[in-house]
Amino acid sequence: MEESEASNKTPEEPCIECQLDKAITAFAFANAACQFIDDPDSKESCVEWAGSLDPENLDALAEIANETVRKAGVESLSRLANEFNDMMHNAIVDVTKERLDQGVEVPDKEMRLYKYLVAKRGV
């Protein structure tokens, strides 16, 4: 490659969809975590804060996560994670079983996860 060609290259544009995915995750994390706070005053304060977040400010995503931990606390985050995992595991088992019952081919990775979750449930 000639020197002039190299100097004309522009740096890659940031992945806008990737940034939006992170933003959606950060805002969902903040709003959901606040719902698992037991103390009504703390919960109200957290919900107010989460509702005031600016989705245009993609530079603040790491701080949103940090502040969520500060406001919601580890116990609330643990409950959120457990509820999320239970919900997703149930959905994976239900949908995969539905596909199997319909004779639809299930990808290997999904089938391994399905078998693991079914064995874990003891179903």
Does the pLDDT of residue 44 top 80, yes or no?
A: yes
Which two tokens mark 57?
A: 């400010």
pLDDT at 5: 47
* C-alpha dist (Å) from residue 88 to 34, 45, 92: 20, 28, 6
In a domain, 84, yes or no: yes
d(CA 94, CA 97): 5
39 vs 14, residue with greater confidence: 39
In a domain, 18, yes or no: yes
Structural domain of 111: 12-121
In a domain, 3, yes or no: no
* pTM of the shown model: 0.71
The number of distinct structural domains making up the chain is: 1
In a domain, 7, yes or no: no
pLDDT at 123: 57
Tens digit of pLDDT for each residue in 61-116? 888 989 999 999 999 999 999 999 999 999 999 999 999 999 999 999 999 999 99
In a domain, 87, yes or no: yes
